[in-house]
Amino acid sequence: MQEFLEKAESGGLRLFMSVLNVGETFYILAKHRSLAVAEQFLQSLSSLPVHVDVPHEEGVMAAARIKASHAIAYGDSFAIALVPVDWIRVQPPVIT
């Protein structure tokens, strides 16, 4: 992950994260590490080169359609739904 963050810092990559994935990361950190670590993640998120997307109905339904046709986690479908349609042809990496 550090490699992706460094590349985004230098402008060589754009990173996006759904707010659902932010919540998922928070609860995993809280459950497996500590609530303090999860809170630290939230505090540091605004300083990272990551755009946090809050999906509206269209984004939620796009994620639901992806989930309905692929054997993936629902949270991952939100990450995939962030990929703009015109980028699909270049198959950008989705990091989960």
Locate the domains of the chain by residue range: 2-88
Instruction: Give tens-digit pLDDT for 16-51.
Output: 889 999 999 999 999 999 999 999 999 999 999 998
CA distance 28 to 31: 5
Q: Are 52 and 63 in contact (CB under 8 A)?
A: no
Average pLDDT over residues 43-67: 93
Confidence of residue 92 (pLDDT cuts 50, 70, 90): low
Find the helix or strand (DSSP H, E) in which 15 lies: strand 15-18
Q: What is the pTM of this model?
A: 0.77
What spatial distance separates the first Cα and last Cα of the chain, rounded to whole Å? Answer: 10
What is the C-alpha separation between 7 and 23, in angstroms, rounded? 24
